Chains A and B, each alone.
Chain A
Amino acid sequence: MKLGFIVNPIAGMGGKVGLKGTDGTEILQRARELGAEPEAPKKAIKALEILTPLRDKLRIITCPGDMGENEAVAAGFVPTVIGDRKDDTGPEDTEQAARYMLNLGVDLLLFAGGDGTARNIYNAIGAKMPALGIPAGVKIHSAVYANHPRSAGEVALKYLQGELETLREAEVMDIDEEAFRQGQVTAELYGYLQVPYERQLVQSLKAGRTEGEEAALDAVADRIIDEMELDVLYIIGPGTSTRPIMDKLDLPNTLLGVDLIKNRRLVASDVSEQEILRHLDGQQTKIIVTVIGGQGYIFGRGNQQLSAKVIQKVGKKNIRIIATKNKIVSLRGQPLLVDTGDDEVNAEFNDYMRVVTSYNEEMMYKVQGL
């Protein structure tokens, strides 16, 4: 059994000193000056310690020094170290190490970091092997991270022991840190990693049962398709939740972008805001949108094409939100968020809206415009 293990040692350093991330060497320098302490190594050790029962069977492949070696040793493992030792490490080191691990054929890549780290991992391995994040960064918009370091360790343990077999596609998202520091958030959806998924294996003996995520999304797609009206333009937002709609209509789907359909036929793929606007004149339109990432955004993160202008033209009443019940519950009561950059449009959303959660089920859920 082989585990790839990568730590971004500087992840999280910006947070406590108010720097909103550590992308870029100057920022890192400032963080250090402000007295930031590395957070990621401690968290990575915490996760790795959970894997102690596998000590004799598990070969850990990792990077030199604080990028994994030191943490693995601290957790009581004797790791195999790859790559050159150097003082300052950067994103390119993460990517190189991940690529190397892909070639080695590790069973799982466990990495500690934030959104930037997830992006690096995604660049290197895409959907080619399973990976799981230990949350250690300031920005965690990506859904590839476990809730906390120990649960990352637990999921990894179960996966390596063969107790978890299901993988799910989880979003890799990142925000432009420079813009973020200036108060603008433009989170992009970069892609999806294959993440081991811990389904509730609780034996529920009373009447409550959940349907699987896949079955739920399937049912949601059926509902949306059944509701589709003649000659209405449908704007299908990005994400895995909307993909079954396109699949069922036998249409090509842009996972990270916006597609337009009408009368069950494709009108345009992967359209920009401008292209969308061009299609809207005199056209009755509906938007199908889902919750992106773990924070509850329905507009303004990962789907900037659906801008304030687009929303205004389509009208709030023509927006259909879709999500599985599990996704809604994982928000823990936090409202769905709208951040279009236009205060007026945002404010319009301060309301309860329907979220389609299965074929014949919808949920009334609070939405908040930022």
Chain B
Amino acid sequence: MSKVVYPYIPNSVPEVKIQMLKELGLKSVEEIYAEIPEHLRFKGTMNLPEPLLSEYELRRHVEGILAQNKTCTEYLNFLGGGTWQHYVPEVCDTINSRDEFLTAYVGDAYADHGKFQAMFEYASMVGDLLGFDVVSTPTFDWGMAAGYSMRMAARITGRNQVLVTKTISPDRYLCIQNLVKPNLELQFVDYDQQTGLLNLEDFKAKISANTAAVYFENPSYLGSIETQAEDIAAIAHNNGALCLVGADPSSLGVLSPPSSYGADIACGDLQPLGIHMNAGGGLAGFIASRDEEKYVAEYPTQLWGLTPTVAEGEYGFGDVYFERTSYASREHAKDFLGTQTALWGITAGVYLALMGPQGMAELGEGIMQRVAYAIELLKTIPGIKVPVLSSPSFKEFVVDFDATGKKVADINKQLLEHKIFGGKDLSVKFPELGNSALFCITEVHTQADIHRLVDALRQVLA
């Protein structure tokens, strides 16, 4: 019997343990484990480090390991590409670290009424950004949301091909591919290397009676705002296909909501909305659509709705369209759901409630102004070509270093010496863009930060 009394295990007190065993008429817990046949028992000892029993020792140890990291508060960061550095208002952290929300799980909407309401409000506010009446509970990430959206489109249309713009995040594409693989065929649509926009001719050539949907991102992975969105949606609809749009919610204070230009389903990531980067652990996807039964019926995620309780005037909540899913007769396979990212959904709601329409508008415009300013300054550095793509960009943009004769990887390595995380290297996944990098600028960047980048690049490229 262990002599250590563990703070997280009240019944590790030896006397209590003995008392409980006695009441069960047992000598040791081994008598319970007799359920497991001897040959299936693990006989060895797990080779794990010696425990750090006190909280102090543990803290010292973990802090020591993590101190090896450099963070984006110490370094000036220009990386985006799927996780973005935005300012997280303190209230967001206050709420999502409350033990009530942090440690709740699947309780019903009576003792967990607040959880349901917070999620309903998150969905409502994201719906306002997108111009849609239905928003899913959060999925694992944007890739999952996009993959689900495509599977939904396939079930709705009874078709099995999805056209995807090539300006999608390569990582996200891998996630989508693994999710839709058994049922759907994905085909790329080219983009115009001058503008960064979808190549409409290629799109028209590829769309067919098998096309369930076209999927594009706005802004794209490369930062371009897809100004042909209305045309793309119209072409899709004329061919009986749906229009799916991946949107960055931080852009929607200034950019048109996807519903306004013909999107049937929108998806994207909540991480920009008050959620720390967390080394990529801040991702949380959303799916949204019009409030039509044929769409709602195909959501694989939970959906939470407002409903009256037996008390006059009291708001209650519950799970919507309980029998939806498993429309096996049409798509011959079922999606799945499970624990995804509810806490980030609640956080995104807090963020939008704090920001309001004015905050989101200022956020969007301020980002675009900083980006425009940065591009103008970067242009002045010899050998740098920027912007590479001519269409307007939102918070990310491509910078071409071809003429500098230096590789992005080397430039970024040298920028580290200036305590700067340079843009994401695009040269492997987008070779057609040459020796380019994707830079991200948000509201966290001051004028001085931008100058620091430009100065450092001048030195590195000199």
Contact = CB atoms under 8 A, between A and B. Distances in A.
Interface of A: 201, 203-207, 209-212, 215, 218-219, 221-222, 358-360
A211 B323 contact: yes
A203 B326 CA distance: 17
Contacts of A222: 328-329, 332
Interface of B: 106-109, 302, 318-319, 322-323, 325-329, 332-334, 336-338
Contacts of B327: 215
B108 A203 contact: yes
B329 A209 contact: no
26 contacts: A201-B322, A203-B109, A203-B318, A203-B322, A205-B108, A205-B302, A207-B336, A207-B337, A207-B338, A209-B323, A209-B325, A209-B326, A211-B323, A211-B325, A215-B328, A215-B329, A218-B329, A219-B326, A221-B329, A222-B329, A222-B332, A358-B328, A359-B328, A359-B329, A359-B332, A360-B334
A226 to B, nearest CB: 8
Contacts of B336: 207
Contacts of B328: 211, 215, 218-219, 222, 358-360
Contact of B107 (A205, A209, A358, A360): A205
Contacts of A360: 328, 332-334
A249 to B, nearest CB: 14
A203 B318 CA distance: 7
The interface residues of chain A, by DSSP majority, are classed as loop
A208 to B, nearest CB: 10
Contacts of A210: 323
B319 A204 contact: yes
A206 B322 contact: no
Nearest 4 A/B pairs, CB to CB: A359-B328, A219-B328, A205-B106, A212-B323
A289 to B, nearest CB: 21
Contacts of A211: 323, 325-326, 328
Nearest to B327: A215
A222 B108 CA distance: 35
A210 B337 CA distance: 13
B323 A203 contact: no
A215 B326 contact: yes
Given A205-B108, A222-B328, A358-B328, 7 more contacts: A203-B109, A205-B106, A207-B336, A211-B326, A359-B328, A359-B332, A360-B333
A353 to B, nearest CB: 21
A350 to B, nearest CB: 28
A343 B328 CA distance: 39
A175 B327 CA distance: 38
A360 B329 CA distance: 10
Nearest to B319: A203
Contacts of B319: 203-205
Nearest to B333: A360
Nearest to A358: B328
A205 B323 CA distance: 13
A221 B328 CA distance: 11
A358 B326 contact: yes
A209 B334 CA distance: 11
Q: Which of B327, B328, B336 has the most CB of A within 10 A?
A: B328
A24 B334 CA distance: 53
A204 B327 CA distance: 18
